[in-house]
C-alpha cells in the first residue's frame, strides 16, 4: 500500500535552533519527493524536490535529503526563524502510466518561539 | 498564485446543513485531490479524481461526496454537518510531467460548523 508517514506530528523549538523533520514512504514506483511549506491559513507551497538520483538539496536554510534505498527523506532547518513556523508536508509522486498519483503525508507542525 | 481556485474562502453554517465547496484546477491539470486539515489530525486525504473519474478514496465519510465535471472543476459536498467537520478543506491539482510532477494547492475553504 502506498503511504507517506511524517514525524514528529508537531515540534516546538527556540529561535536560532536547528531541527529535522522526517518522512518515510512506501510509494512505488517512485518518481519524486517534494517538501511543502504551509503558512497558517495558506495553501502549501513547494520548498524543494528530490528525484531518485539526488541525495541532498539545499534551499537557503532548508536542506532536504533522500535515501532511496531506505525510502526516507528528511528536511533540516538551520538557524530557525520565527517565520519558519508553519506546517511542512511531504508529498511523494508515483509513476503511473496515463495518470500521476501523489501521496501526501499528514504534515509536521513546527512552531518557532522567541 | 498557484493557479488553483477554491470558493468560498470562508463558510459558516449550522449543524445538520449541507454545503458545497468548489475547486477549479490549474489549466490542463487532470487530477484533483481533496484534503481536510484540522489542528489535531493534520492533512487527511479525502478523495482523488482524474479526468472525471474517481481515482482513489481516503478517509472520506459517507456524508461527504465529490465529483469532477467535464470542464475538470470539482465539487466537494458535505451534508448533515457536525461540529467536528469544522476544518480547512484544500484541493490540489496536478498533471504528469515526469520526475518534476508537482501538486498545486488552492488557498483552502475554512468551514466552521456552529
Helix (H) or strand (E) holding A75: strand A72-77
Question: Angle B57-B63-B67 (CA atoms, 0-180°, nearest 5)?
Answer: 50
Local confidence band at B92 (pLDDT 50, 70, 90 cut-offs): very high
Q: Do B42 and A99 touch (CB under 8 A)?
A: no
pLDDT the model gives residue A41: 82
- Distance, in Å, from the CA atom of B48 to the CA atom of B50, rounded to the nearest integer, reads 7
- Closest alpha carbon to A23 in B43, B5, B71: B43
CA angle A101-A104-A107, nearest 5°? Answer: 170
Angle at A62 between CA A56 and CA A66, to 5 degrees: 30
Q: Which residues of B touch A46 (CB under 8 A)?
A: 102-103
Asked if residue A7 has pLDDT above 80, the reply is yes
Residue of A94 and B67 predicted with greater confidence: B67
User: What pLDDT does B39 receive?
Assistant: 76
Q: Give the angle A72-A77-A82 at the CA atoms, nearest 5°.
A: 140
- 3 state SS of B107: coil
Which stretches of chain B sit within 8 Å of chain A by CB? Answer: 2, 4, 30-31, 33, 35, 37, 41-45, 48, 50-51, 55-56, 88, 90, 92, 94-96, 98-103, 105-108, 110
Chain A residues within an 8 Å CB radius of B37: 107
For residue A97, count CB atoms less than 10 angstroms from its CB and return exposed for 0-12, middle for 13-18, buried for 19 or more. exposed
Interface contact B44-A44, CB threshold 8 A = no
Contacts of B88 in chain A (CB under 8 A): 41
A109 to chain B, minimum CA–CA distance in Å? 8
Mutation target among A5, A100, A103 for the B interface, most CBs of B within 10 A:
A100
Interface test with A, best of B9, B105, B106 (most A CBs within 10 A): B105
Res. B24: pLDDT tops 90: yes
* Rounded CA separation A47/A84 (Å): 12
What's the rounded mean pLDDT across residues B9-19? Answer: 97
Average pLDDT of span B20-27: 97
Per residue in A25-48, pLDDT (tens digit) is 999 889 899 999 999 888 899 999
Percent above pLDDT 90 for chain A: 75
Using 50, 70 and 90 to split pLDDT, how confident is the model at B10? very high
CB pairs under 8 A between A and B: 77
Using an 8 Å Cβ cutoff, are B2 and B103 in contact? no
> pLDDT per residue over B25-83, tens digit each?
999 899 999 999 987 778 899 999 999 999 889 889 999 999 999 999 999 999 999 99
Amino acid at each position: 500500500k502506498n503511504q507517506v508517514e511524517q514525524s514528529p506530528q508537531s515540534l516546538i523549538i527556540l529561535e536560532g535552533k536547528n531541527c529535522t523533520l522526517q518522512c518515510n514512504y512506501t510509494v512505488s514506483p517512485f518518481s519524486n519527493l517534494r517538501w511543502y511549506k504551509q503558512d497558517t491559513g495558506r495553501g502549501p507551497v513547494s520548498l524543494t524536490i528530490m528525484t531518485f538520483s539526488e541525495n541532498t538539496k539545499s534551499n537557503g536554510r532548508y536542506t532536504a535529503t533522500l535515501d532511496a534505498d531506505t525510502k526516507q527523506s528528511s528536511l533540516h532547518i538551520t538557524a530557525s526563524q520565527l517565520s519558519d513556523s508553519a506546517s511542512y508536508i511531504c508529498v511523494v509522486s508515483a509513476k503511473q502510466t496515463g495518470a500521476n498519483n501523489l501521496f501526501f503525508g499528514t504534515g509536521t507542525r513546527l512552531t518557532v518561539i522567541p | 498564485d498557484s493557479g488553483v481556485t477554491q470558493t468560498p474562502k470562508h463558510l459558516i453554517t449550522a449543524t445538520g446543513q449541507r454545503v458545497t465547496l468548489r475547486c477549479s484546477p490549474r489549466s490542463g491539470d487532470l487530477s484533483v485531490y481533496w484534503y481536510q486539515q484540522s489542528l489535531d489530525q493534520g492533512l487527511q486525504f479525502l478523495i482523488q479524481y482524474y479526468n472525471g473519474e474517481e481515482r482513489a478514496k481516503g478517509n472520506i465519510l459517507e456524508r461527504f461526496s465529490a465529483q469532477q465535471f467535464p470542464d475538470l472543476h470539482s465539487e466537494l459536498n458535505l451534508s448533515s454537518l457536525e461540529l467536528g467537520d469544522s476544518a480547512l478543506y484544500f484541493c490540489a491539482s496536478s498533471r504528469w510531467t515526469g520526475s518534476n510532477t508537482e501538486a498545486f494547492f488552492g488557498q483552502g475553504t475554512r468551514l466552521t460548523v456552529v
